[in-house]
Homo-oligomer: A and B are copies of this chain.
């Protein structure tokens, strides 16, 4: 079987009718069955790894090892969300029994989260599996019970189509309703989907400009819909003077590895590194990347944007270029530059993410001025602090957690664990929302609450029935009640 692929806006109404019908059908299907869909997709992708990875290699220039690992991450993500659906906390079930003697009397009232309806997810260029056709947004939407139309990224079209066929087959074999999943291609279809009355939410991983354009369409509809964009992130790193004195060389090695990982094409790439005046981290990092082999970027367009961005950066007044990023036919080499904190603060263009293997070191003299400068940063997905053991960094932690969605103590932000606790999101422009796009709690993006008042038990969703047939955790009359052991 092949997946439905939408390439013409004339086909959208019919496709959305099918998705709307699927949304209704999904509401009558048990959570256990729906969790089974996620597991079935995971199993099918794992079984196809030897077929898929070579397609992805050809289209993205990423290595076999990286891509094979990414398939495992993607299927692990699907299975974690399936487990979360079975556990049931994601339904946020709350029961308050009637209180006829209260003043005023209170009815029986029960709240649960229900799926929003059909959603459109925009695949990213830089994770052809984990943030693409069967990636985190698709897994979260399916976990919530929403049909999904994935806008394929043109940077890996063949992989997207083949993955879509595998997903469609696995869903059909597992019993998912017709219309649960489709693929879409092309900008015109994509924007028409965001504007379509049957679409109830959108999600996106990509550039600030592209994400903002789609966000604007979503919020300007006659009936605005949530649009979850994961856009741009400079991912600041702060090195205290004490950490610099204790381990400049080690920090430099870690930085060099992190900002060049995957040719710098991670949304969590550390792009701004605040170091004390006189730090030798820059020099050590330059040594670490000397002789790095050129790396081909994901697409020609990304390659051109990187070259343009680096040229603009390198020619900015006050910038000291430490390593020239070069772009050859065989790929790009990393770029490293340095600037004073004063120049950085007065040059807004330096605050923005530059996608690719480049990082900017910013020298600060006064820690108090550093904190003021950090407070001026745009929002980021991550902020990383390198401090010495026992150092009082309360004020730094405070300002970094204001500006980012994940704060790291030591280590490097590249690498995003898929867990219950993960938060991959942050203040604008990191994301457009108050939610994560990685990890279990990302399901909440595709749900809304409904309360049932004085409903007969048989007409309630199973999650809210008196005898708790799903065995899920619930809040009953104000107290948390654990779910059944499983």
Residue ranges of A at the interface with B (Cβ–Cβ < 8 Å):
24, 27, 69, 87, 89, 92, 94-96, 104, 106-107, 109-111, 114, 116-117, 215-216, 219-220, 223-224, 226, 379, 393-394, 397-398, 401-402, 404-411, 415, 417, 419-423, 425, 427-429, 432-436, 441, 444, 447-456, 459, 473, 475, 478, 480, 482-483
Task: Using known A-B contacts A406-B450, A411-B453, A419-B109, determine if residue A24 contacts B436 with beta carbons closer than 8 Å.
Answer: no
Chain B residues, CB < 8 A from A454: 408-411
B109 close to A24 (CB less than 8 A) = no
Q: Give every chain B residue within 8 A of A407 (Cβ-Cβ).
A: 450-453, 455
**Which partner residue on chain B sits nearest A218 by CB separation?**
B219
- The answer to whether A459 and B393 touch across the interface, beta carbons within 8 angstroms, is yes
Inter-chain contact B24/A398, CB cutoff 8 Å? yes
Taken together, the copies of this chain in the complex come to: 2
A-B contact pairs, 11 of them (CB 8 A): A24-B398, A27-B398, A94-B441, A107-B411, A109-B422, A111-B421, A223-B379, A393-B459, A397-B455, A405-B448, A425-B449
CA distance A387 to B254 in the complex (A): 67
Distance in angstroms from A131 CB to nearest chain B CB is 17
Alpha-carbon distance between A69 and B435 when the two chains are bound, in angstroms: 37
Chain B residue at minimum C-beta to C-beta distance from A452: B407
Q: How far is the CA of A406 from the CA of B104 in the complex (A)?
A: 19
Give the CA-CA distance A352 to B482 in the complex, in Å.
Answer: 43
Given A27-B398, A215-B224, A111–B422 Cβ distance below 8 Å? yes
Chain B residue nearest to A401 (CB atoms) is: B450
Q: For the complex, what is the distance from the CA of A405 to the CA of B447, rounded to whole Å? A: 12
On whether A449 and B104 interact (CB within 8 A), knowing A111-B423, A423-B111, the answer reads no
Evaluate contact between B417 and A106: CB separation under 8 angstroms.
Answer: yes
Whether the pair A405, B459 counts as a contact (CB closer than 8 A) is no
Most buried by B among A117, A226, A421, A450: A421
Given contacts A215-B224, A223-B428, A421-B95, contact A449 B456 (CB under 8 A): no
Query: Which residue of B89, B109, B422 contacts A417 across the interface (Cβ within 8 Å)?
Result: B109
Determine if B428 and A104 form an interchain contact, defined as CB atoms under 8 angstroms apart.
Answer: no
Closest to A73 in B: B104
Closest Cβ neighbor of A117 among chain B residues? B402
- Please name the residue on chain B nearest to A229 by beta carbon: B224
Contacts of A95 in B (CB 8 A): 421
A321 to B378, CA, bound (A): 58
| Residues of B with C-beta under 8 A to A473 | 480
In the assembled complex, the CB of A110 is this many whole angstroms from the nearest CB of chain B, namely: 6
How many angstroms between the C-alpha atoms of A365 and B398 in the bound complex? 63
The 8 closest A-B pairs by CB, nearest first: A423-B451, A223-B428, A219-B219, A94-B421, A96-B421, A408-B453, A111-B421, A423-B449
Pair A459/B215 contact, Cβ less than 8 Å = no
B111 touches A441 (CB 8 A): yes
Residues in B with CB closer than 8 Å to A114 are 401
A389, closest chain B residue (CB):
B456
Asked if A406 and B453 sit within 8 Å, CB to CB, the answer is yes
